[in-house]
Amino acid sequence: MMRSDDVLLLCDAISKAYESGKTQTRVLKQVNLVFKTGSINLIYGKSGSGKTTLLNILAGLDKASQGNVYYLGKRYGSMNDSEMAKLRGENFGFVFQAYHLIPRINIKENILCPSYINGIQYDKEYYQFLIKILGIEKLIRKMPYELSGGEQQRVAIARAMLLKPKIVFADEPTGNLDSKSTKVVTELFQKLNEKYKTTFIIVTHEENLIEGCEQVIRLRDGEIIIE
Ligand SMILES: Nc1ncnc2c1ncn2[C@@H]1O[C@H](COP(=O)(O)OP(=O)(O)O)[C@@H](O)[C@H]1O
Ligand SMILES: [Mg+2]
């Protein structure tokens, strides 16, 4: 197996199958990937190709049927649920396809959630920077249902970034955004990548979402396509 100081996350021969009755669907087939510290990585493929499944396994939110994932050399399978939750809480940020804002608390409380849940102080100046750059300053007293899909997505992005995670896992983060907001978000990702060496693993079906990124991974029917 490959070992190097700048390898942050690695997956080794990941397969995933879903069983339902007698039929088995193989969603991922022997996927090997390496993600370097401070890199921007796109996972690109058609709907149903296994992108979300792969992202959830890399983020430790779902388990592979076979194969291993390692964060800084530590194998996910060697950790219990609470160790895994701690690793995620301290190091990972998530932007989900369906935002997952908490409905009964306001926008500011939603953004600050990772700080409350993990008992980690947040940087107040940086919070102000995030809401300003994402254009959601005027929304922070509102409730999630009062926001459009695109606004909720920008809130979810602020929440994912709040604790300056080592890795941001983002599932189609710009899927509901117009081209202007898409540009704001991709430029923010690039800025945070430069400033904090944040590693990004971004699922997208826009092949050219970010120019000049470290790695573009193409998935087709659960397999990596090497060109
Ligand atoms: N919980 C599940 N049970 C059974 N099949 C699933 C489940 N989740 C995803 N799949 C199937 O796995 C395939 C890949 O899904 P997904 O990872 O969501 O792809 P993508 O994000 O690229 O659209 C699809 O065929 C989907 O129907
Ligand atoms: Mg998906």
* Digitized pLDDT (tens) for each residue of the chain, 227 residues in all: 555 669 999 999 999 999 888 888 999 999 999 999 999 999 999 999 999 999 999 999 999 999 999 999 999 999 999 999 999 999 999 998 887 899 999 999 999 999 999 999 999 999 999 999 999 999 999 999 999 988 999 999 999 999 999 999 999 999 888 898 899 899 999 999 999 999 999 999 887 888 888 999 999 999 999 76
Q: What pLDDT, on the 0 to 100 scale, is given for residue 4?
A: 60
Q: What does the block give as tokens for 17?
A: 């199958």
Q: What pLDDT, on the 0 to 100 scale, is given for residue 98?
A: 81
Residue 213 sits at φ, ψ, to 5 deg, of -85, 165
Q: What pLDDT, on the 0 to 100 scale, is given for residue 103?
A: 95
Domain 40-64+80-225: what homologous superfamily? P-loop containing nucleotide triphosphate hydrolases (3.40.50.300)
Q: Is the alpha carbon torsion for 196, 108, 52, 44 positive or negative? A: negative
Mutate to test the pocket of ligand 1, among 18, 43, 97 (most ligand atoms within 8 A of CB): 18
All structural domains of the chain with their residue ranges: 40-64+80-225
Counting ligands in written order, the one closest to the CA of 54 is 1
CA of 17 to the centre of ligand 1 (A): 10
**Atom of ligand 1 lying closest to residue 50 CA:** 17
Half-sphere exposure of 75 (CA within 13 A, CB side): 8
What pTM, to 2 d.p., does this model score? 0.93
